[in-house]
Amino acid sequence: MQQPSDGYLGIDVGSVSTNIAVLDTGGQVVDTLYVRTQGQPIAAVQAGLRTIKERNSSLVVKAVGTTGSGRHLAGVMVGGDAVKNEITAHAVAAMHVEPNVKTVVEIGGQDSKMIIIRDGVVTDFAMNTVCAAGTGSFLDQQAVRLNIPIEQFGDKALASTTPVRVAGRCAVFAESDMIHKQQTGQQMCDIINGLCQALARNYINNVGKGKDIKGPVLFQGGVAANAGMKRAFEEALGCQVVVPQHYNVMGAIGAALLAGEATDGKPTVFRGFEVVDYTYMPRSFECDGCPNRCEVVEITMNGQVAARWGDRCGKWAVSTE
């Protein structure tokens, strides 16, 4: 593997996975890493950085960006030059891959998003964090229940010629309907194809409701690995759906690009790969100073308070820079 001298680091900390991307200063992806968060984001980030350092021994980090639900925590841990939300990170990565992209379909482990882009600007977006139907964790669950490796789920769907209609508006109803179809003797590949079509319909009718969906369409997130879901979206939208090469780490790629823009030649605040051996301790407490009763999150690094956030008035604020 090519060893870069200078590069940008992007870290996307989600509930299911923690993704890391290394880009050279020209914006080309040099290395990527996908690890399971397993409810321990600090350990996942440290393990991921350790692996990245081992695989890119000569890397000189010029900028670090963090995104995802754990972006603030990761930003404090590593010293983030840019701490951005997932919408911004995924949009930037999509436009980097396809400058003319107009719609981004992103489905991860626990949630899904749609981003509408016009002339290089995000004009609309929507997120679904309520229902699990269509997310990676739901598909994982169904693969386990059907005793089919998740890697084969898409191929099974593509083998179908007569998909059955599966109710996809709710994860519970979808599973019940699949069980019913199995009991009536339907072919497994047709049931899986029917599920993919149902989940695509559910996404378009809920997350995409009222959205002006136009191509080019990019399909990002872990679920994009499922060829059955890609075909289902193409059938439902009536246009080609493009799955980028690094579909499962696009958030991290966007974070790295944003970090490069944020530093713009200025020194990075990256703490160095030594953070893999630091001791971090997060805790939260409720402030009783006023009726707001804010939940304040505090993280200590090697025994010293590194950052606090969550209060509305700034009473407990400690800089996260």
The token duo for 101 is 């992209």
- Block means of pLDDT (10 residues each) for the chain, 321 residues, are 75 90 93 90 94 92 93 92 94 95 87 91 84 65 75 78 69 65 72 82 83 91 86 91 93 96 89 92 89 89 88 74 44
Helices 171-183 and 188-206: crossing angle in degrees, nearest 10, is 160
Question: 3 in helix, strand or coil?
Answer: coil
70 falls within a domain: yes
How far is it, in rounded angstroms, from Cα 286 to Cα 295? 5
How far is it, in rounded angstroms, from Cα 176 to Cα 185? 15
Whether residues 106 and 125 fall in one domain? yes
Write the CATH number for 255: 3.30.420.40
Whether residues 108 and 221 fall in one domain? yes
How far is it, in rounded angstroms, from Cα 218 to Cα 196? 17
Phi/psi class of residue 310: alpha, beta or left (left: φ > 0; alpha: ψ in -120 to 50)? left
175 falls within a domain: yes
Q: Is the dihedral of CA 142, 143, 148, 153 positive or negative?
A: positive
Nearest-10 Cα torsion for 173, 175, 180, 184: 140
Residue ending a domain, choose from 243, 267, 291: 243
**Contacting residues for 205 by C-beta, under 8 A, at least 6 apart:** 169
Q: 19: how many CB neighbours lie within 10 A of its CB?
A: 28
Q: 86: how many CB neighbours lie within 10 A of its CB?
A: 24
76 falls within a domain: yes
1 falls within a domain: no
Whether residues 163 and 194 fall in one domain? yes
Position 298, amino acid: E
Whether residues 119 and 229 fall in one domain? yes
Whether residues 233 and 172 fall in one domain? yes
Whether residues 194 and 213 fall in one domain? yes
Whether residues 169 and 143 fall in one domain? yes
Whether residues 238 and 258 fall in one domain? no
Whether residues 81 and 114 fall in one domain? no
Domain region containing 310: 279-321
pLDDT tens for residues 187-242? 778 878 888 888 888 888 888 888 889 989 999 988 888 888 899 899 889 999 99
Whether residues 71 and 134 fall in one domain? no
Whether residues 107 and 239 fall in one domain? yes
128 falls within a domain: yes
Q: Tell me, what DSSP letter sits at residue 303? A: T
**Contacting residues for 152 by C-beta, under 8 A, at least 6 apart:** none
pLDDT tens for residues 136-159? 677 777 777 777 777 777 787 788
The token duo for 193 is 């194809």
How far is it, in rounded angstroms, from Cα 65 to Cα 20? 10
